[in-house]
């Protein structure tokens, strides 16, 4: 409980520059997975990536990790209705990067977090440990949101939770084996 509070406080500090800019607000109107908006998804991924970084015995650029995670899905359209030349899954990291470069000053780590977060769907792997962490956090959160979308009750059934975890671990780790 105490540790969670500590992370929340750190998260608020690190996320403040992006959140206070107000530029993430449009994400509230777009649905990501299930009933989760792109805004809530982006915050959840950033919180999860930071919590993972705090528990791992490596040094992370935590400010860039949180900023990049907050902007990883900054594509600014309803992917359920907008038709693109390529499938949304392949196209949106590049669109998000373009938008983020227009609206924020990005570091190379933040750029890489955004453009590589769909690995292994997009085949070039993340370059930095911060990018890898956001890639894993994104899959974990998308998985949770999907199960919340099909029913909170269902998601709490142990067998489905185990399937969800196995599925996300498989997606996250398979290309590395
Ligand atoms: Fe994404
Ligand atoms: Fe995402």
CATH of 2-176, one of 1.10.3210, 3.90.550, 1.10.10, 3.40.50: 1.10.3210
Could you tell me the distance, in angstroms and rounded to a whole number, from the CA of residue 107 to the centre of ligand 1? 19
pLDDT of amino acid 35: 81
Tens-of-pLDDT digits for all 177 residues of the chain? Answer: 555 567 899 999 999 999 999 999 999 999 988 789 999 999 999 999 999 999 999 999 999 999 999 999 999 999 989 988 899 999 999 999 999 999 999 999 999 999 999 999 999 999 999 999 999 999 999 988 877 666 565 555 677 666 656 655 555 544 432
Q: Quick one: which ligand is closest to 96's CA?
A: 1
92 Cα to the center of ligand 1, angstroms: 7
Contacts 24+ apart (CB under 8 A), 166-169: 167/143, 168/139, 168/140, 168/142, 168/143
Which ligand lies nearest the alpha carbon of 121? 1
DSSP H or E stretch at residue 107:
none
What SS3 class is residue 37? strand
* Residue-range domain boundaries for the chain: 2-176
* pLDDT at residue number 16: 97
Ligand minimally distant from the alpha carbon of residue 89:
1
pLDDT of residue 26: 97
Residue 7 CA to ligand 1 center (angstroms) comes to: 24
Tell me the ligand closest to 41's alpha carbon. Answer: 2
Q: So what's the pLDDT on residue 175?
A: 41
């Amino acid at each position: 409980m105490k540790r969670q509070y500590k992370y929340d406080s750190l998260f608020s500090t690190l996320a403040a520059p992006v959140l206070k800019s107000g530029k993430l607000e449009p994400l509230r109107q777009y649905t990501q997975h299930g009933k989760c908006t792109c805004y809530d998804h982006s915050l959840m991924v950033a919180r999860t990536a930071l919590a993972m970084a705090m528990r791992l015995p490596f040094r992370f650029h935590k400010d860039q990790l949180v900023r990049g995670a907050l902007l990883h899905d900054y594509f600014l359209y309803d992917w359920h209705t907008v038709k693109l030349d390529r499938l949304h899954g392949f196209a949106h990291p590049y669109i998000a990067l373009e938008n983020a470069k227009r609206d924020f000053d990005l570091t190379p780590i933040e750029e890489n977090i955004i453009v590589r977060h769909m690995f292994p769907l997009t085949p070039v792997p993340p370059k930095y440990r911060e990018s890898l962490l956001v890639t894993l956090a994104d899959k974990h959160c998308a998985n949770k949101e999907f199960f919340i979308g099909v029913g909170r009750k269902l998601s709490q059934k142990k067998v489905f939770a185990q399937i969800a975890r196995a599925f996300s671990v498989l997606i996250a780790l398979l290309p590395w084996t």
